[in-house]
Amino acid sequence: MTDTFSAEEQLSPEPFSQDALRSELEQFAAQQIQQFANRTPVTELVEARAGFIDTLLQRLWQHFGLDKHNELALIAVGGYGRGELHPLSDVDILLLSDQPLDEPTGKTVSEFLTFLWDLRLEVGHSVRTLDDCIEIGLEDLTVATNLQESRLLCGNPDTFQCLEEQINSGKFWPSEEFYRAKLEEQKVRHARYHDTT
């Protein structure tokens, strides 16, 4: 039996002090190091880290009042979107809106992101409309891949649903075309390192 705790048990009920939150993040990291030394399966550790960060982001989303902005959705993408977060991995998030943000909302989003950086989290972020996501995803295979590995953290489920429908439509990177592009991407990456193991 592994000695793991849920994110709810780890985070204080109102984690709004930067110092307190940094301390809780450090304690969680130290606990995971100990669990790794005690041979806790890595899959459990990366899933627990993702869950811990999920809870943190959801609480801060409410703290900054972003839950009052009905057009917004906070989405985990990439490896984090798969529910896996390694200790040194970026926390990759997408702030999705059905329309361009007005100035006050943009300012609040900026404060939210700045707070995450002040916590010393390695956050990879994008703030995009649905149209932006599709346009950029069609041009950039990495963005397309990240979007296909996404999950809603909080915010408007309809906004996220619209994104999912667009991504899963046959017009956004049809399977055969996507497969060929990923193979080519892999070849280029391997060639960069002279095809060494």
* pLDDT at residue 10, as a whole number: 56
* Triad 128, 131, 135: Cα angle to 5°: 95
C-alpha pair distances (Å), 20 with each of 13, 23, 25, 78: 11, 5, 9, 28
Adjacency order of strands within the sheet including 151-155: 123-129, 91-97, 72-76, 151-155
Q: Where are the beta strands (DSSP E) in the chain?
A: 72-76, 91-97, 123-129, 151-155
Q: Which range among 32-36, 136-140, 151-155, 193-197 shows the weakest confidence by mean pLDDT?
A: 193-197
C-alpha pair distances (Å), 56 with each of 21, 157, 168: 9, 19, 29
| Residues listed for the chain | 197
Terminal alpha carbon distance of the chain: 36
Is the pLDDT at 6 greater than 70, yes or no? no
| Tens of pLDDT, residues 97-156 | 989 999 999 999 999 999 999 999 999 999 999 999 989 888 888 888 888 889 999 999
* pLDDT at residue 1, as a whole number: 37
* pLDDT at residue 4, as a whole number: 46
- Per-residue confidence at 159, pLDDT binned at 50, 70, 90? very high
CATH number for domain 7-192, candidates 3.30.470, 3.30.460, 1.10.3470, 3.40.50: 3.30.460
Please give the residue that has the higher pLDDT: either 32 or 140: 32
* pLDDT at residue 138, as a whole number: 85
* pLDDT at residue 186, as a whole number: 59
* pLDDT at residue 178, as a whole number: 52
* pLDDT at residue 5, as a whole number: 44
* pLDDT at residue 81, as a whole number: 94
Please give the residue that has the higher pLDDT: either 9 or 91: 91
Where along the chain do its domains lie? 7-192
| Tens of pLDDT, residues 53-97 | 999 999 999 999 999 999 999 999 989 999 999 988 999 999 999
Half-sphere exposure of 113 (CA within 13 A, CB side): 16
Please give the residue that has the higher pLDDT: either 175 or 5: 175
Read off the pTM: 0.81
